[in-house]
């Protein structure tokens, strides 16, 4: 019976980590959109919040979750520039 309990606990832990990933990934997308909006408006923006969340995502140890790339201000500016064309 303990094997069943261990498997159940493992599944519960995996599910919790996946749900945390989903929360962080959504937050990351919001921060990216915020940076894009500020960049489009010609205002000062930072990628610090994006990258803080990205680092947290990359700490989650689930094989099926790909790592996320850190974002630079230049990447945001390049993206906004491509959107304008």
Domain that holds residue 76: 2-84
- Using a cut of 0.85, tell me whether the model's pTM lies above it: yes
pLDDT digits (tens, 9 = 90+) for 1-26: 688 888 899 889 999 999 999 999 99
CA–CA distance from 17 to each of 46, 50, 55, 62, 70 (Å)? 27, 19, 14, 8, 20
pLDDT score of 68: 95
pLDDT digits (tens, 9 = 90+) for 23-55: 999 999 999 999 999 999 999 999 999 999 999
Number of domains in the chain: 1
């Amino acid at each position: 019976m303990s094997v069943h309990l261990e498997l159940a606990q493992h599944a519960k832990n995996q599910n919790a980590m996946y749900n945390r990933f989903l929360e962080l990934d959504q937050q990351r997308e919001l921060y990216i959109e915020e940076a894009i909006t500020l960049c489009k408006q010609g205002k000062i923006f930072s990628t610090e919040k994006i990258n803080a969340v990205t680092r947290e995502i990359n700490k989650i140890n689930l094989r099926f979750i790909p790592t996320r790339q850190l974002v630079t201000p230049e990447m945001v500016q390049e993206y906004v520039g491509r959107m304008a064309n």
